[in-house]
Structure 1
Amino acid sequence: MRKTTILTLTLSLLSSVQLWAKDYRVSDFGAVADGTTLNTRALQRAIDVIHEEGGGKLIFPLGRYVSGTLHLLSGVTLHLESGAVLLGSNNPYDYDREPGLNTAFLLARGQKNIGVTGEGLIDCRGRQTAYNLVDLIHRGLVDDRLGLDRPNESIRPMIFYFRECDGVTVEGISLKNSASWVQTYDQCKNLKIDRINVESNAYWNNDGLDIVDCENVTVTNSYFDASDDAICLKSHSGAHMCRNILIRDNVARSGASGIKFGTVSAGGFKDIRIINNKVYDTYRSAITIQAVDGAKVDNIFVDSLYAIHTGNVIYLRIGDRWSSGRQPSMSNITIQNVYAEVPAGKPDKGYDYEGPQHHMPRNISPCGIVGLSDHDITNVTLRNIKIIYPGGGNPFFAYRGLTPAELDSIPEARKSYPEFSQFRELPAWGFYIRHAKNITMDNVQLIAQKPDYRPAIVLDDVHGIKFDNVTYTEPGAEKKQQLFPYQSTEVTVNQ
């Protein structure tokens, strides 16, 4: 058969699918848009019918629709018109849970070609739902250890939990006030997220977006404001990984990290592009890449990152927390065209749920590239980077010197929760690099606005590092040694 004939048949089939896909209105199934009536059965029946009829859109016109868990099925797209609001029930018993997994307002497992689109809003009113869940736990009706005075994340409803789905489109909508992580896509393929608005500071652990062991993903043109990590890639399974992912043209604000790989990092992350993103008012790192549970991290490209008012800018970390015998690795990382400003104070101060004030006392922490003594981070390029620090590191507040004994006393912290402040006081104000090989820093500007007792860069067990046009600006420090190598070899400096 000729190629043109095959193409014609393919286009014909696609056209037929589009003709078969119909639009249905929620009112046809008895849904009531009064902000009070519980519509779960009516809306689920609508989804079931559309699925049975071969697929289509379920249209939500202007109005407020209350519901518990809805199970999204293959071929079905929920479309919220402007002014349409889907409200999550405040009764924790109105939410289903995937067996052994998580609970959510929208659940899907093993479905194909599903979506949530439109200009409307999904508001799960998560703070009150979480408080109601706490009340049920106190009354002995729900079994939970209530660690840290909050229920386990898996029994607090997310907004979306989609697992093992193929062909997912989330476009245009707003998501607000989850009781837990906002949206989790777990082992999904062919996922498109575009032009969404996420505001979720209603409770703890409100990650704006979790992409777990997914392949072929685009996250573009979206806004995330979350009390936990804003955009988070995770790997829960040693047999899977996040692969072929584009994160582009987004804005993120977080009570934790802006763009993060991990913390759970079992399988790994490969072929990830993070381009033209902005991060602001973020408690932890603007970008952090972690392999602490046996993950393989390879071929990560970060370009054009603008970070204002973040507690840390770049943190790369290998650990050995839950590796179960897997050997972690991190290699082939390029981070370029970065402008960042680190404040002297707490960058997320005043938000409803601030990041915890811990690992104190310490002065402002530097960027970090920190492997383990038996697992180096390798082949990292940092290019065209400008970071403005507050400076002002005070040895009488917290101190870490440069003697062999003092540098050797910095713990490996193999099994610690990984974040930039985990070592408490560090001996550099700009970059601390330890257990690494083949590092390039090209056209990097490090600026301290006040004098700091520490040098800009400290190397420890680094072998093969090249500095091209790296400059340091610190008041009154013209003769200060800003680069301090310790137990390191093949250090090349070109100005």
Structure 2
Amino acid sequence: MNNKRILKSSFVILLFLFLFSFNTESYAGKKKDYLITSFGAVADGKTVNTKAIQKAIDAANKNKGGRVVFSKGKFLSGSIILKSGVELFFEEGAVLLGSTDVNDYPKYEGIRALVLAYASKNISITGKGIIDGRGRELALAVDSLHHTGVRIDSEYNYRRLRPGDGRGKLVSFVKCDSIKITDITLKNSSGWVQCFEKCSNIVVDHINVESRAYWNNDGIDINGCENVSVTNCNVNSADDGICLKSDSPGLQNNNIYIANCIIRSSASAVKFGTGSYGSFKNVTIENIEVFDTFRSAIAIESVDGAEIENIKVSNITAVNTGNAILIRLGHRNGEKPGYIKNVSIKNVKAQIPFGRPDIDYDLRGPEVDYFHNPFPASIVGIPGYSIENVTLENIEITYPGRASKGMAYLPLTRLKDVLENIKGYPEFTMFGELPSWGFYVRHANGIQMKNIRLALEKEDFRPAFVFDDVKELYMENIDVPSDKTNQVIFKDVSSANLDAETLKRKSEPKQNTFVLPAH
């Protein structure tokens, strides 16, 4: 990381922290401490302390704010409600241990979680302690109660044999303002680890997420929020690592900064969607390390009508990751498709394995249910709705090769047979077998590719690039293997600009493109 990037990241973090402190009047002076042990909490890991902890929170809130302190030890609890002006502070060695009794998690304002807040302001979770939801035990308890008919889960997924809403989240804040979560370790959720919905002015910094307890363990979910900073986090999750969502119309994500994070995921590392009804605007993602991740390092998806624009992604390193980049505009729900435009992705280095990256996980993403060769990165809209103005610069991706026509084969004369899958769940595997090994671009307008290097570990019979229904394509300094011809395939491509030095090869320096006849 160079000095300029360090200074830039530090400035942004300091700006967010300044704004947070400026808007948090109750944190102006030293806050009064409220020890949960003074309210009757017992750190034996057996006594249910829900009422005692809530009494401490309520007392701090009543007195215009304060710090609720968890001392060293294991404090068992069900749902607690964080209220305005209150900080939950965890001393080193302190553990909030989630109950495995489903009755200890009643809904509050429609929220089910271990730590929750609704319409609160100036709230925080800090300290070197741990919040452990014991999510696998809780989820299996919910599952058992459903099948015995004691407590029916209306959202139970019979195909995947897992309960739905009854599991709840570890941390869930809704309609809150001025939130700070720092230094804490969040682990073993039964559902999403932490979710911020319709919130504003959020700082998440230097937290650890260790949640591979059960399905749908998204690390950090941001759902219709504004002015968000997520920095210096280490996320190891059984589902998407950091996920921006817009789960209902009108939910707007605006001014989001994600930086200096390390992510391992059984799904995608950083993802927009799949819930994508509202908007995602002015999002900056930089300095992200991804490893052993099943799906995409970066996935930008609008399939429910979402407006996605002004997205800047830079300095991404992905090792042993199923896919480097997916940009998908579809039409799964909503009156009409949304749009994706003005996306910049720079300085990406990725290594794609031949087999699945999460093979050694105890929880693994669902298998692809058809025979296929390794998949390329994809930028794909739908007929009549193109992805617009995407810049890819300084991209280096190493692919495994080893494609075989005996496994799957879609000849270049049949590009029309690539699935549109307009209503499909957005995923880099959603189009079936693809005709290229490096990039597949379809229904796009204004694509700039500069300094792109694609490498193969083994031979692949397919071309590196296929462009289908693309306008205003610019390619500069493209480096592909030297032992193949016709590495770039055009079908219905207009206004393409490839200068004589566009395709670098170790031998035969001629431009090796092939244009398919129009249909």
Same fold (TM over 0.5): yes
Q: How many Å separate the matches in 1 of 2:259 and 2:330?
A: 28
Query: Match for 1:430 among 407, 413, 438?
Result: 438
Residue 136 of structure 1 aligns with an amino acid whose one-letter code is L
Answering whether residue 326 of structure 2 is matched by residue 321 of structure 1, we say no
Residue 466 of structure 1 aligns with an amino acid whose one-letter code is Y
Aligned length: 478
Residue 146 of structure 2 aligns with an amino acid whose one-letter code is I
User: Does the CA-based 8 Å contact 1:446-1:473 persist in structure 2?
Assistant: yes
The within-5 A match list for 1:20-419 is: 21-99=31-109, 101-144=110-153, 145-323=156-334, 325-403=335-413, 406-419=414-427
Q: How many Å separate the matches in 1 of 2:357 and 2:213?
A: 19
Q: How many Å separate the matches in 1 of 2:22 and 2:89?
A: 25
Q: How many Å separate the matches in 2 of 1:65 and 1:20?
A: 25
Q: Identity, % of aligned pairs?
A: 44
SS of the residue 2:140 aligns to: helix
Q: Residue 218 of structure 1: CA displacement?
A: 0.2
Residue 363 of structure 2 aligns with an amino acid whose one-letter code is Y
Structure 2 segments unaligned to the other structure (5+ residues):
1-20, 502-519
Q: Residue 490 of structure 1: CA displacement?
A: 1.2
Q: How many Å separate the matches in 2 of 1:62 and 1:21?
A: 20
Deviations 1:95-115 (A, max 9, x none): 12234x441001111000001
Q: How many Å separate the matches in 2 of 1:260 and 1:490?
A: 31
User: Does the CA-based 8 Å contact 2:26-2:85 persist in structure 1?
Assistant: no
TM-score normalised by L of structure 1? 0.94
User: Does the CA-based 8 Å contact 1:102-1:155 persist in structure 2?
Assistant: no
User: Does the CA-based 8 Å contact 1:21-1:54 persist in structure 2?
Assistant: no
Alignment match, 2:489: 484
User: Does the CA-based 8 Å contact 2:419-2:432 persist in structure 1?
Assistant: no
Q: Residue 142 of structure 1: CA displacement?
A: 1.3
Residue 296 of structure 2 aligns with an amino acid whose one-letter code is S
- Superposition RMSD on alpha carbons, in Å? 1.6
Q: How many Å separate the matches in 1 of 2:30 and 2:357?
A: 52
User: Residues 419 and 69 (structure 1 numbering): CA distance in 2 closer, same or farther, change over 3 Å?
Assistant: same
User: Does the CA-based 8 Å contact 1:270-1:298 persist in structure 2?
Assistant: yes
Alignment match, 1:6: none
Q: Residue 15 of structure 1: CA displacement?
A: 8.2
Q: Residue 13 of structure 1: CA displacement?
A: 11
User: Residues 481 and 14 (structure 1 numbering): CA distance in 2 closer, same or farther, change over 3 Å?
Assistant: closer
Q: How many Å separate the matches in 1 of 2:24 and 2:252?
A: 31
Q: How many Å separate the matches in 2 of 1:79 and 1:177?
A: 20
Q: How many Å separate the matches in 2 of 1:382 and 1:147?
A: 41
SS of the residue 1:135 aligns to: helix
Residue 380 of structure 2 aligns with an amino acid whose one-letter code is V
Alignment match, 1:467: 475
Alignment match, 1:458: 466
Q: How many Å separate the matches in 2 of 1:398 and 1:307?
A: 26
SS of the residue 2:395 aligns to: strand
User: Residues 482 and 359 (structure 1 numbering): CA distance in 2 closer, same or farther, change over 3 Å?
Assistant: farther
User: Does the CA-based 8 Å contact 2:348-2:395 persist in structure 1?
Assistant: yes
| Higher mean C-alpha displacement, 353-362 vs 297-306 | 353-362
SS of the residue 2:411 aligns to: coil
Q: How many Å separate the matches in 2 of 1:303 and 1:13?
A: 30
User: Residues 493 and 83 (structure 1 numbering): CA distance in 2 closer, same or farther, change over 3 Å?
Assistant: same
Q: Residue 326 of structure 1: CA displacement?
A: 3.9
User: Residues 146 and 368 (structure 1 numbering): CA distance in 2 closer, same or farther, change over 3 Å?
Assistant: closer
